[in-house]
Structures are given as C-alpha cells and as structure tokens.
Amino acid sequence: MKNAANFVIAILCCASIMCIDVDVFAQSNTAASPAVDELKALLDNKRPDLKHALLKLIDASAKDKNSYWHKRNSLEEFYRFLAAWRTYTPRTIAGAQDYSERFKSLYRSKGHDNKTYYSDDGISFMRDKDFTDWMQKFVRERGVFMDSKESAAAANRWVDDGTIDMSSYQIPAGGFASFNEFFTRRLKPGARPISDPNSAAALISPADCRVSPIPYALTSDRDFEVKGDTYNIAALLGSVELAERFAGGAAIVCLLYPKDYHRFHAPVTGTIAAKGSLDDRHYYHGFKGLVKYFSEYHRAYYLINTKNSGQVGFVAIGMSDINSVNMPLPVDARKEIRKGDEIGYFAYGGSGIVMLFEPGILKPSLPPDSKRGRSPTGSTLGAAAVDDPAGARLESVDPSGRAAGFGLQKGDVVRRINGRTVNGAASFRKAVSAVAPDAPVSIHVLRDGREATIDREAASYVGRFVRMGTRIGTLSTK
C-alpha cells in the first residue's frame, strides 16, 4: 500500500473532496453508453488481464462493509455505475463529487490512523494505457451529456431551490438549456465592479475564487511545493524557454468551487502575445506524486504583455472530471484587452488558475476584510443551528464559513462530528471548534430524511475568497 504521506491528496473539484454514502443511481439516466460498451469489448476481447485486475480491485473494495462496493462486487454493477455516472448531474453542491469518490474508492482507502492509502494494484490499473485512453472517451461522452437539454433539470433545480444566489447572474427566459449553460452562466452588467480600472498598477482577481500567493521565488525547471501541491512552471507552460521569463518571479494560485461563477477575466490590461493548449487528458485519478497536479492536467494559457509591468502568464487548468478549458481570444498584438474583460471560461469540472509574474513585479495585497475560502480552516462557523431531537438542525449555511467547507447544507441535522455526539446547537458549535485547522473531518447527518456520512480530507490548500474584480496585488513598473 502507498501511504498518502507520499501521495498527498490534491484538491478535487475545486478544492473539496467529500463522499456522501447514499445511493444516487436514481438521479441518473442509465441509458446505453457507447463508451461503456467499448470498455466491455476491451476487457472481454483484448485485455482479459485488465479485466482480471479490475475484478481484483472490486473484490478488495467489497470486503469493507462500509465500502460503496460492498454489495456491488461484480462487473455488471461496475458497468451500471459507469452508465449512471455518464449522465449524473449533482442535486447538491456537496454531491458534485459523489461518483468520482465512489470510483476512487476502488483504489483508495482510509486506514485506522485516518490516513489515506492507495493500493499498488489500483495505481497500476489506473496507469494502464488502454484504460487511460478509454477513460478519456468516457469523460468526453459525459461532457456531451452536460451540454445536452437532458442535463438542464438539475441546473434549474439549483436555481429554483436557492442553492445559489442568482441575483448577480443573467437567467435565460425559460431557464437554462443545459447544465453547462448554467455552469458557465453570465453576470449581469455591473455585478462585479472592477477595482481601480484605470490603474495599470492594480492587479485584480480574474474570477470568483480562493486566492493564494505562492511564497517562493519561481524557478523555471525545478519542482517546489506550496501547501502540499507541486509546481513546475516549465511543465505548466510546456516550455523551458517560456518559463525562463518568470524565473525568480512570483505567482498567484486561484481555485474555483462548483458553486462559483466559472468565467474568467483579464487580471491586467495588455495584449495577448501568445497562447497555447497543453495535455488533453480529462480525468484526475486522485493520487499525488504520480501526477504533478497543475502541470499534468488539461490546461491552456495566455501570455499577456502589459505596458509597464512586463509579461503576465495566465494559465487555466482543468483539474477533475470533465475539466474543460475554453480560451477563445486570438493572439493579436494590436488589440488591447482591458482589465476585467472576459477572456475565457471553464465548463463542468474542476477549475484552477495560476498567474505568473516576472521578477520584482508583484506585491500581493489581499483585502483584509475578504472572507476565507470554503474550507475547514475558515475563520467563522458560518451556520445558524437550532436544537433538534436528533442533533442540531442547520437553519442556514454561509458558503464562506467552516460549515460549508465541511460540506454541510441548510436543512442538515448533524448527529456526530469525528465521533463526537451532537445533541443540540451548542454541542454542534463545540464539536466544530474542536476540529483543528486543516484536519480531516467525518460528519454523520440526516439529509432529506436519510442517513449520510460526509468525509472531508484535510485541506492541502487554503485560499482567501474574493470576487472577480477585487484588487489582489500591486504591479511595479519594469
């Protein structure tokens, strides 16, 4: 077994890794899938050894009575699972990663020491080229579904039930035509004011995201770590030559959550000097060390020439599930893009942005009154709880507080937190405060009348949540 100390868990689907142990097949259309049929043919006709390896993983997972696969230990159940995943649209924010987490449980488990382990057999299976090639086809098929009208119901349910405050967004007449139309929704004019729009020195956040400056000088060709995540700017840009410009400089990392606005905007005023798209893989396996996180996923970049502050690298990264990155603007040295102009968007999947700056240019300055990101290390509880016979019922949940970072939702009745019984609102507050910053958490709740367990990995990344257009730094003159 591989210890997670060697393969640190990266943040999944916009930073939150969680698993809800209720069946969600009923929420998905299990119609025939060409990709699933292709996998059956691959395993039956070409790779019986791979079929045997998959069965071995399923059997191993099924031995755990708490495993999703405990009573689903057959290939037919696995194929049924894939068919349901292909057309899955999450009913809730917390459920966005349900299928990904179930899939990963075939090769990932938690030990008695609360550490996460990966099996050698699982790593070998996920690295097999035939399976990896097939997985890309499956994810693309899933992407087609998320663009279809059949996916629209879940998106419009999120709008109708108040899951997301839509007051800042344009809502099409008749509702959203697909989940991706909702996911890539547009802002109303003026919904995100641009800080210091005429100041070349003001750097703004390119998205609604969690922002964290990298506290190290960049190197062009060597790895370095920030809170558990590995960076290499030459690999990130696909070129040592391009990376040399930023050697000795600085970077800012931005992470987006499923609930966030998923279009991104120019952080500076300038012209697009170059662009590129790198690595068309569209699925994140979830083991760290074998994958160098930002530098090994589907990503695209702009290099933006500013008038006085050199070149700014803007790298958009698809981090999990379908992870589509769209950067439509052409290279045009004559056409100026203004700070705050829309320059691209992420369709459904995990999303991150890395901004690169030349040496001596960036001085980060996150606003002191910004709310913390949606992680367990948030500074406030962010939930109103009342006593309930079964525990503590949440009347409201602030998306910027610790409760939301744990994956809790309005209406949840919290029963236990890390084994600690919750017997009322005061007990709930004490149990939350007892969870150390960046520690893993397991919460037992009643959700929609059903028992559920939310397992949240320790946060390996903490960022400050800011809105697009907020000033996050000052740029010096070169």
pLDDT tens readout for residues 287-299: 443 334 455 567 8
Quick check: 373 pLDDT over 70? no
At 463 the pLDDT is: 67
Provide the 8-state DSSP code for 260: S
At 222 the pLDDT is: 56
At 23 the pLDDT is: 38
Are residues 395 and 343 part of one domain?
Answer: no
Strand partners, 394: 385
pLDDT tens by residue, 32-57: 689 999 999 999 999 999 999 999 99
Are residues 315 and 217 part of one domain?
Answer: yes
Are residues 390 and 357 part of one domain?
Answer: no
Distance CA(295)–CA(264), nearest Å, equals 20
Active site residue 265: yes
At 25 the pLDDT is: 35
List b or e across 71-80, with b for residues whose CB sees 16 or more CB atoms inside 10 angstroms.
ebbeeeebbe
| pLDDT band per the 50, 70, 90 thresholds, residue 214 | confident
Distances, alpha carbon 458 to alpha carbons 211, 340, 412, in Å:
18, 34, 22
Q: Do residues 307 and 268 touch, judged by C-beta distance below 8 A?
A: no
Mean pLDDT value across residues 256-267 = 92
Distances, alpha carbon 446 to alpha carbons 415, 443, 451, 456, 468, in Å:
7, 10, 5, 17, 35
Residues above pLDDT 90, as percent of the chain: 43
Are residues 348 and 331 part of one domain?
Answer: yes
Question: Which residue among 351, 400, 427, 460 is the active-site one?
Answer: 351
| pLDDT band per the 50, 70, 90 thresholds, residue 478 | confident
At 357 the pLDDT is: 96
Quick check: 472 pLDDT over 60? yes
Coil/strand/helix, residue 353:
strand
Q: In what order do the strands lie in the sheet with 108-110?
A: 2-3, 116-118, 108-110
At 302 the pLDDT is: 96
Q: Is residue 36 part of a domain?
A: yes
Distance CA(246)–CA(224), nearest Å, equals 14
- Comparing 189 with 160, the larger pLDDT belongs to 189
Distance CA(292)–CA(430), nearest Å, equals 38
Nearest residue to 20 via CA among 81, 79, 99: 99
Quick check: 232 pLDDT over 90? no
Average pLDDT over the chain reads 80
Locate tokens 């703004």: which residue? 204
Distance CA(284)–CA(105), nearest Å, equals 14
Q: Is residue 376 part of a domain?
A: no
Give the helix ranges, DSSP H, for 129-204. Answer: 129-146, 152-160, 179-183
- Comparing 113 with 146, the larger pLDDT belongs to 146
Domain that holds residue 88: 2-153
At 65 the pLDDT is: 80
pLDDT tens by residue, 103-134: 888 887 776 666 667 788 988 898 898 998 89
Distances, alpha carbon 65 to alpha carbons 59, 69, 97, in Å:
12, 9, 21
Q: Is residue 167 part of a domain?
A: no
Question: Which residue among 208, 229, 388, 412 is the active-site one?
Answer: 208
Are residues 37 and 143 part of one domain?
Answer: yes
Q: Is residue 185 part of a domain?
A: no
Active site residue 455: no
219: exposed, middle or buried (Cβ count in 10 Å: 0-12, 13-18, 19+): middle
Q: How many domains does the chain have?
A: 3
At 131 the pLDDT is: 92
- Comparing 337 with 372, the larger pLDDT belongs to 337
Distance CA(364)–CA(204), nearest Å, equals 10
Q: Is residue 189 part of a domain?
A: no
Which among 123, 153, 183 is the end of a domain?
Answer: 153
Active site residue 282: no
Q: Which helix (H) or strand (E) holds 240?
A: helix 240-244
Are residues 211 and 136 part of one domain?
Answer: no
Mean pLDDT value across residues 204-223 = 80
Quick check: 13 pLDDT over 50? no
| pLDDT band per the 50, 70, 90 thresholds, residue 206 | very high
The CATH number linked to 405 is: 2.30.42.10
Q: Do residues 461 and 372 touch, judged by C-beta distance below 8 A?
A: no
At 54 the pLDDT is: 96
Are residues 107 and 11 part of one domain?
Answer: yes
Question: Which residue among 262, 265, 298, 444 is the active-site one?
Answer: 265
Mean pLDDT value across residues 85-89 = 91
Quick check: 377 pLDDT over 50? no
| pLDDT band per the 50, 70, 90 thresholds, residue 461 | very low
Nearest residue to 154 via CA among 112, 81, 95: 95
